[in-house]
């Protein structure tokens, strides 16, 4: 099922809210929450067979950031 840009934007905002909620609920720094979430995403992608593609995506993150310097301001 194709996902629209609006759906992806809504999903991104919802994930931002979840991350903020976890930081507040567990009184933990955002980097620690990120580490836990990343570990779970690695496991999920390995389990579903997309682990290699997921790792390629992660490896390309530094390149995406360099191409778009505004990327860090896009959290709502």
pLDDT for the residue numbered 76: 58
Look at residue 64 in the predicted model and tell me its pLDDT: 62
Predicted pLDDT at 44: 98
CA-to-CA distance for 6 and 29, rounded, in angstroms? 29
The reported pTM is: 0.72
Instruction: Write out pLDDT tens, residues 23-67.
Output: 999 999 999 999 999 999 999 999 999 999 999 999 887 766 656
Euclidean distance between CA atoms 75 and 15, whole angstroms: 10
């Amino acid at each position: 099922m194709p996902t629209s840009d609006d759906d992806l934007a809504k999903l991104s905002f919802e994930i931002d809210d979840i991350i903020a909620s976890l930081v507040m609920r567990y009184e933990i720094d955002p980097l620690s929450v990120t580490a836990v979430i990343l570990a779970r995403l690695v496991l999920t992608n390995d389990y579903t067979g997309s682990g290699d593609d997921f790792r390629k995506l992660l490896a390309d993150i530094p390149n995406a950031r360099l191409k778009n310097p505004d990327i860090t301001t896009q959290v709502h």
